[in-house]
Amino acid sequence: MHPAYSVIFFTTASGAGYGLLVWLAMASALGGFPPDWALGFIGLGLALALITAGLLSSTAHLGRPERAWRAFSQWRSSWLSREGVLAVATYIPAAILGISWVFYETTQGAVVFASVLVSVLALATVYATGMIYASLPTIRAWNQPLTVPVYMTLAMATGGVLFVFVLSLFTQLPTWAIVLPLAAVIAAYVTKRFYWQAVDESPRPLRPENATGLGHLGKVRHLEPPHAQANFVMREMGFKVARKHADKLRRLSAYLMFLVPTVCLLLLLMVSSYTAPLFALVAVIAMGGGVVIERWLFFAEAEHVSMLFYGAAAA
């Protein structure tokens, strides 16, 4: 599948933003730190900026972005529509939490309802994003039980690392604020490894013989393409990264997304609060680079059954 950079940026940035939102909301509701208004402003501001930038970027992928408002109407049947509705709905409790935290320095009491609601809606939005891909029967690599868990654990991991960075700017990091995000990073790594294994081992039973229904006559070979140049279907669904490149990129993304942040987070248990932001920032940058590569691979390694008509060997 052709990796559209606007979609890659959208899912990674807004995933991290929603994750950060959950960390901030739940940690503040549980009294994890004093409700410093600047922490709220920077933290929630960063989360909402990432979410908004991601959502705007996703409209860049559209042919007619001026009609994007229509995408809220089909939530009864379409995961893409549901994602849009949930994404917008999340802003409301986020705004309530933001006002309470920044203007009233209050994160306990009644505002906890908003914190819980924003966490639920943020996770629901990431769930819907994953389901857009997981619900397509045409793409075997996406139509997997672990696709949605990968989206959700990566949102919590990327958001968690951002949370550590933001918190480190304001206060000495309590142990839980290092260990819990570390657990999220490890959980995301384990999920992603199992996902890659499932995709590599999943059978590809369809052949050109199935696509054309001519298998009873013998082997089917694509002799004459319908057109001399590639068309939209070939460009969108036919993009495939070579196996050897994919293996290297998987390793690189795993180092950046999991190894580097894990090392940084472990080091944060030992370093002073003056240098902590630096280590956290390294983790953020590495994680960001790693998740962009991971998302690119998510598209580039995916095969679409329609390519069976265009000479693909199996799907």
164 neighbors 268 (Cβ within 8 angstroms): yes
The whole-angstrom separation of Cα 23 and Cα 183 is 13
Which residue of 175, 203, 219, 272 would you call a contact of other proteins, by CB under 8 A? 219
Nearer to other proteins (CB atom), residue 80 or residue 267: 80
130 lies in the binding site for other proteins (CB under 8 A): no
From the list 145, 153, 165, the residue with the least C-alpha distance to 189 is: 153
Minimum CB–partner distance for residue 133 and other proteins (Å)? 9
243 lies in the binding site for other proteins (CB under 8 A): no
From the list 210, 231, 229, 227, the residue with the least C-alpha distance to 308 is: 210
Which residue of 9, 10, 127, 310 would you call a contact of other proteins, by CB under 8 A? 310
- Buried b / exposed e along 156-176 (16+ C-beta atoms within 10 A): bbbbbbbbbbbbbebeebeee
52 lies in the binding site for other proteins (CB under 8 A): no
- 């944060």: which residue's tokens? 268
> Which residues have CB under 8 Å from 263's CB, separation 6+?
none
Nearer to other proteins (CB atom), residue 201 or residue 224: 224
> Which residues have CB under 8 Å from 218's CB, separation 6+?
none
Which residue of 6, 52, 135, 262 would you call a contact of other proteins, by CB under 8 A? 135
Only one of the segments 42-50, 193-201, 285-293, 305-313 lies at the binding site for other proteins (rule: CB under 8 A); that segment is: 305-313
**In this structure, how many other beta carbons lie within 10 angstroms of the beta carbon of residue 227?**
8
83-102 residues near other proteins, rule: CB under 8 A: 84
Nearer to other proteins (CB atom), residue 131 or residue 259: 131
- C-alpha distances (whole Å) from 263 to each of 142, 177, 179, 271, 298 are 30, 15, 12, 12, 25
Which residue of 108, 172, 197, 231 would you call a contact of other proteins, by CB under 8 A? 231
203 lies in the binding site for other proteins (CB under 8 A): no
What size, in residues, is the chain? 315
81 lies in the binding site for other proteins (CB under 8 A): yes
Structure-token pair, residue 187? 């959980």
The whole-angstrom separation of Cα 116 and Cα 214 is 56
Minimum CB–partner distance for residue 297 and other proteins (Å)? 17
> Which residues have CB under 8 Å from 171's CB, separation 6+?
33, 34, 36, 39, 273
Structure-token pair, residue 153? 């654990």
Only one of the segments 14-22, 67-75, 110-118, 272-280 lies at the binding site for other proteins (rule: CB under 8 A); that segment is: 67-75
x/- map, 163-202, other proteins, by CB under 8 A: ----------------------------------------
Nearer to other proteins (CB atom), residue 38 or residue 214: 214
Size of the site for other proteins (CB under 8 A): 58
Nearer to other proteins (CB atom), residue 30 or residue 214: 214
Chain residues that interact with other proteins, rule: CB under 8 A: 1, 61-65, 67-68, 70-74, 76-81, 84, 132, 135-139, 206, 208, 210-214, 216-227, 229-233, 236-237, 304-307, 309-310
